[in-house]
A and B are shown apart, each in its own frame.
Chain A
């Protein structure tokens, strides 16, 4: 198994005002693998994933120290174009958040704001993205319908398709299944495993079994510290750290 670092953090510290939310995080997210971030509420896992495409920039009083490298380039350096960064590093959120537009326009949105006007090209890309998100067969006759008419699980896959349409390299999932039912969850988990062939995936989840099912590597965070990071099978059969063991076996958290 060839491991190539796609995203890497070096001594990453993060502060909201005076409170430090992430402490010296050194983590490598391997290309074409799924890295899961687990940990109790408030451990900083969502903050962590948001540092990977600078989603925290908009938060007042937020401050980053250390480096976040994408293909070896620090994404926090002034030369980096944030819009381009977020095209390369896409994100899917906890609650499905489609735009109040048609299914088609949701997926086409990113292409259009990137200046693509060619109708045929857009149609192609929309179909391809919906297929990749395992949604095409369910919506191919409903492309003109409002996205809100879809079920929760379908909306979430639509958001994934929307993220895929702009050809990202990394996809960040922030608890993508916490607002949807088990059957839809199973579809999304299956999808995440397929997506790693073409993309690098980082997922935050408070469902440990989900981390076990979909990820290749698992990082356990607690109170802003990276407690343990290893192959998922190692973490879930024989974790090295007592805190990890106690957390994943449900002794606290």
Chain B
């Protein structure tokens, strides 16, 4: 039986996908600006931030309205609460894209410290995680969501690697510090974007299975139960 409620849920789904597209584009533009050393991409990202924030608020309002008026249960409830959380993750990703753009714009004023290798690699993993997390959400694909969560470690170790490498630059020549710190920050922002993609993956698993996998909670609870 088709419910009027389904129309509202479809509207929520569309809003969320629209927001996801906006954020995906921001992240892509921020990375592109850095790689291609083009100022206009970075500026474009800064201009988009407010739109993302507004959509997040719209999604929150819609979710609260549906919770209050429909008192959803089961799959409907999990969808709406997940939508709220995913919107929050996306908004943070949008902010991080802005942070990357800001640092990039500064870095573009000076010559490149070194050819960028690991950062673009990290960016492409983080971006594909974002993409996959959203595909998993659209298709309610719990396996893909899990795969996203598993790639988080890859990004973390690349980030460590970037940090160590830039540290050696800074130690050998203090003049590089400014640029190296900029790149470290960008690495850090990309790593955070991957974290948020992981969170979305966890939200999708909860949405599909009704099961929380965050923070290895099942293992922790099992250990607590066995004295």
- Chain A interface (Cβ < 8 Å from any Cβ of B): 208-209, 212, 235-239, 244-245, 248-252
Contact between A251 and B1, CB atoms less than 8 A apart: yes
Contact between A251 and B3, CB atoms less than 8 A apart: yes
Q: With A237-B210, A238-B210 known to touch, is A250 a contact of B3 (CB < 8 Å)?
A: yes
Contact between A237 and B76, CB atoms less than 8 A apart: no
- B72 neighbours in A (Cβ, 8 Å): 249
Please give the number of chain B residues whose Cβ is less than 8 angstroms from any Cβ of chain A in the complex. Answer: 14
Supply 27 A–B pairs (Cβ within 8 Å), ascending by A.
A208-B73, A209-B71, A212-B73, A235-B74, A236-B73, A236-B77, A237-B73, A237-B74, A237-B77, A237-B78, A237-B210, A238-B209, A238-B210, A238-B211, A239-B74, A244-B74, A245-B75, A248-B73, A248-B74, A249-B3, A249-B73, A249-B76, A250-B1, A250-B3, A250-B5, A251-B1, A252-B1
- Chain B interface (Cβ < 8 Å from any Cβ of A): 1, 3, 5, 71-78, 209-211
- State the Cβ distance, A38 to closest chain B Cβ, in Å: 11
Contact between B78 and A238, CB atoms less than 8 A apart: yes
Q: A209-B71, A250-B1, A251-B3 are in contact. List 10 more A-B contacts (CB 8 A).
A: A237-B73, A237-B74, A237-B77, A237-B210, A238-B74, A238-B210, A244-B74, A245-B74, A248-B73, A250-B3
Bound-state CA distance A212–B73 (Å) is 9
Report the 5 A-B pairs with minimum CB-CB distance, sorted nearest first.
A238-B210, A236-B73, A245-B74, A251-B1, A248-B73
- B73 neighbours in A (Cβ, 8 Å): 208, 212, 236-237, 248-249
Bound-state CA distance A249–B3 (Å) is 9
- State the Cβ distance, B51 to closest chain A Cβ, in Å: 33
What DSSP secondary structure best describes chain A's contact surface? helix
Bound-state CA distance A208–B209 (Å) is 22
- A244 neighbours in B (Cβ, 8 Å): 74
Bound-state CA distance A208–B76 (Å) is 15
- A238 neighbours in B (Cβ, 8 Å): 74, 78, 209-211
- B77 neighbours in A (Cβ, 8 Å): 236-237
Bound-state CA distance A239–B73 (Å) is 10
Bound-state CA distance A57–B71 (Å) is 39
Bound-state CA distance A209–B77 (Å) is 13
Bound-state CA distance A208–B70 (Å) is 12
- B211 neighbours in A (Cβ, 8 Å): 238
- A251 neighbours in B (Cβ, 8 Å): 1, 3
Q: With A237-B210, A238-B210 known to touch, is A249 a contact of B1 (CB < 8 Å)?
A: no
The chain B residue with its CB closest to the CB of A248 is B73
Q: Pick the most buried of B72, B74, B78, B211: most chain A CB atoms within 10 A of its CB.
A: B74
The chain B residue with its CB closest to the CB of A245 is B74
- State the Cβ distance, B75 to closest chain A Cβ, in Å: 6
- B3 neighbours in A (Cβ, 8 Å): 249-251
Bound-state CA distance A147–B76 (Å) is 44
- State the Cβ distance, B207 to closest chain A Cβ, in Å: 10
Contact between B71 and A249, CB atoms less than 8 A apart: no
- A245 neighbours in B (Cβ, 8 Å): 74-75
Bound-state CA distance A37–B13 (Å) is 33
- State the Cβ distance, A187 to closest chain B Cβ, in Å: 20
The chain A residue with its CB closest to the CB of B76 is A249
Bound-state CA distance A79–B71 (Å) is 48
- A249 neighbours in B (Cβ, 8 Å): 3, 72-76
- A208 neighbours in B (Cβ, 8 Å): 73
The chain A residue with its CB closest to the CB of B81 is A237
Bound-state CA distance A239–B77 (Å) is 12
Bound-state CA distance A245–B77 (Å) is 11
- A248 neighbours in B (Cβ, 8 Å): 73-74
- B209 neighbours in A (Cβ, 8 Å): 238
